Amino acid sequence: MDRAKRYIFILILLLTVASAAALPYVYESQTLWYKIGLDKTLLRGGQLAGMFALTLLFTQIVLAVGGPFLEKGFGLKNIMSWHRTNGVLVVLFALIHVFFILVPEGLDNLPIGIKFWPEMVGMLLLWILVVMVTSSRYRGLLRLDYRRWRTIHKPLGYLATILVVVHVLFVSDSFVHVVPRRLFIVAVVALLSRVVWVKVYAQIEKKGSTSVN
C-alpha cells in the first residue's frame, strides 16, 4: 500500500470535515440568530451533524467509485469495509441532524407542505439513506441477491447525491453566502470529476487490456 496516497486522501478528508464543521459558526444561519439557550445549542448541533453527514456522503461516493489512487493507498478490502461503516455513520449523523433541527420548534411542527419543499427533499433523502444502509447490512436477512441489491443500491447512491445537493443549496441560508456556496459547488464539481475520471480511466484500462489480449 502506498503510504503517501493514504496520507493525501486522509488530509483532504480532514480539511473537508474541518471546513464543513466551521460553516455553522463562520456563516451562521439567520434561524440561529433567533434561537436562545438550549434551542440554539440543539439547532447548531443539528447543523453540525448535517455538515458531517454531507461530508461523509460525498466521501461515500469517492469510496464507492474507488480507483487506483485509493486502492493503492488503502487496499480494496479496507475501502469496502470503510464504505460499509461510513454508510452507517451517514445515516446516524443524518438522524441526529433531523432530530436536533426539529426539536427546538417542536416535533408536532413538522415542515410539511409545498413551501417547505427543500426540507421535504431532505426527508426523502433520509428515507433513501435508511433504505440503502438497511438493505446493505441486512441483505441476507432480506433475501436480496447481490445483483438485485447492486442494481438498486448504485442508482440510489447517485440519487442521494443529487438530493443532498438540492437540499443543501435550498434549505440553508448559510449557503446563500458567496464563499460557502462556491466552495460547495467546487466540491460537487470535484466529486463529479472524480467519478467521471475513475469511470473513464477504468474504460480505457479495460480497452487497453482487451486489445493487448
Partner 1 sequence: MKHRKILVFLLLSLFIVPVAHGANDSWELDKAHSNIFFSVDHIFSKVNGHFNDFSTEVVFDPKDLSGSSFAFTIKVASIDTNMSKRDKHLKSNDFFDAGKYPAMVFTSTAVTAGDDGLYNVEGTLTVKGQSYNVTLPLVYAGMKDHPAIRGKEVAGFNGKIVIDRLAFAIGSGKFYKMGVVGKDVEVFVSLEVVRSKQ
Interface with partner 1 by CB under 8 A: which residues? Answer: 30-31, 34, 36, 104-106, 108-109, 111, 115-116, 173
Residue number, 43 or 191, with CB nearest to partner 1? 43
Nearer to partner 1, 30 or 213 (CB): 30
User: Is 28 or 105 the residue whose CB approaches partner 1 more closely?
Assistant: 105
Rounded alpha-carbon distances, angstroms, from residue 82 to 62, 76, 79, 134: 11, 10, 5, 16
- Give the residue with the Cβ less far from partner 1, 2 or 173: 173
Q: What is the closest distance, in whole angstroms, from the C-beta atom of residue 105 to partner 1 in the complex?
A: 4
Q: How far is the C-alpha of 39 from the C-alpha of 142, rounded, in Å?
A: 40
- Give the SS3 label for residue 139: coil
Burial profile 148-187: b = 16 or more Cβ within 10 angstroms, e = fewer: eeeeebeeebeebbebbbbbbeebbebbebeebbebbeeb
Considering just the CA atoms, what is the radius of gyration of the chain in Å?
Answer: 19
Amino acid identity, position 109: N
Contacts of 95 (CB under 8 A, 6+ apart): 126
Is 143 in contact with 82 (CB distance < 8 Å)? no
Is 82 or 116 the residue whose CB approaches partner 1 more closely?
A: 116
Residue closer to partner 1 by CB (options 117, 149) is 117
- Beta carbon of residue 161, minimum distance to partner 1 (angstroms, whole number): 24
Confirm if 160 and 131 have CB atoms less than 8 A apart.
Answer: no
Cell of 123: 426527508
CB count within 10 Å of CB 24 equals 21
